[in-house]
């Protein structure tokens, strides 16, 4: 077996193939392949010429080995090449990159809102540690989702660009006597629906670009959002059923677990 090493360090190995009782050796292209020298220490092949810029696999006859790579051309990356934006791109469009950045902002917006609700219930004049714990966990979850979308952006070759966070105005003291717990849980339900609809918008962008992998990635979050919407709706219904203040206290006990 012989080994050819282009400037990039890519190793192409050619060997005798056996097919139908006969041996056929891959055709070497002297004008395209560098010739190997004697092996260096530890058997590492070395290169004589450094002017190899590409290997055209369509010129290598490996049909006798039952393989056909016609048309595949490997071009090594030169050390003098300009810095590339990404090496992992497989059809990730600017529209997708922009849409993912928008959704990262959506997740951080929900995180910020839940963090504000947590701080309210943790006050000494409110003292509902169960609600405080619940909304703190919601805040952490939204941050995790934001970071997961940031990692996805990087995985697909995009560039993460964080944007300003918009937080809805919150008034926990309601003039109509609505309890702060009901108000917070109602806001929770609306936030989960908001995130759901934004995920649907993101899924549409992926569908428009015919990116089935991105669609699959988003669909997992859509399923999670449906579950979160049901949980928030259940808690809101229970709060409206039991009333205040004793009912809220008992639900707070349950939320501490």
Q: Binding site for Fe cation: residue ranges?
A: 107, 142, 145, 192, 225
Q: In the chain, which ranges are continuous DSSP H helix?
A: 94-121, 129-155, 180-208, 212-242, 246-255
Residues 6+ apart with CB under 8 A from 44: none
Tokens of 25: 């050796």
DSSP secondary structure, 122-164, as one string: TSTTT--HHHHHHHHHHHHHHHHHHHHHHHHHHHTT------P
Cα 18 to Cα 25: distance, rounded to the nearest angstrom? 9
Phi, psi (5° rounding) for residue 163? -125, 165
Q: How far apart are the first and last CA of the chain?
A: 66
Distance CA 10, CA 30 (A): 17
Q: Which residues pair with 24 in a beta bridge?
A: 17
Q: Binding-site residues, please?
A: 107, 142, 145, 192, 225
């Amino acid at each position: 077996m012989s080994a050819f090493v282009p400037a990039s360090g890519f190793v192409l190995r050619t060997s005798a193939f056996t097919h139908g009782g006969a041996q056929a050796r891959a055709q070497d292209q002297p004008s395209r392949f560098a010739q190997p020298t004697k092996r260096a220490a530890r058997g590492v092949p070395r290169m004589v010429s450094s002017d190899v810029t590409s290997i055209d696999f369509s010129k290598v006859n490996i049909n006798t080995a039952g393989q056909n790579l016609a048309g595949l051309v490997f071009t090594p990356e030169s050390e003098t090449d300009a810095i590339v934006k990404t090496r992992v791109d497989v059809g990730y469009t600017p529209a997708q990159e922009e849409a993912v950045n928008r959704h990262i902002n959506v997740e951080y917006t929900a995180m910020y809102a839940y963090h504000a609700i947590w701080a309210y219930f943790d006050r000494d004049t409110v003292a509902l540690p169960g609600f405080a714990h619940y909304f703190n966990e919601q805040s952490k979850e939204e941050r995790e989702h934001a970071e997961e979308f940031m990692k996805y952006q990087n995985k697909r070759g995009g560039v993460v660009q964080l944007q300003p966070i918009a937080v809805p105005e919150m008034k926990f003291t309601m003039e109509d006597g609505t309890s702060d717990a009901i108000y917070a849980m109602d806001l929770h339900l609306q936030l989960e629906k908001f995130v759901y609809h934004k995920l649907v918008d993101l899924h549409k962008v992926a569908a428009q670009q015919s990116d089935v992998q991105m669609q699959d990635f988003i669909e997992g979050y859509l399923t999670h959002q449906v579950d979160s919407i049901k949980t928030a709706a259940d808690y809101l219904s229970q709060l409206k059923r039991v009333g205040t203040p004793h009912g809220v206290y008992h639900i707070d006990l349950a939320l501490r677990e």
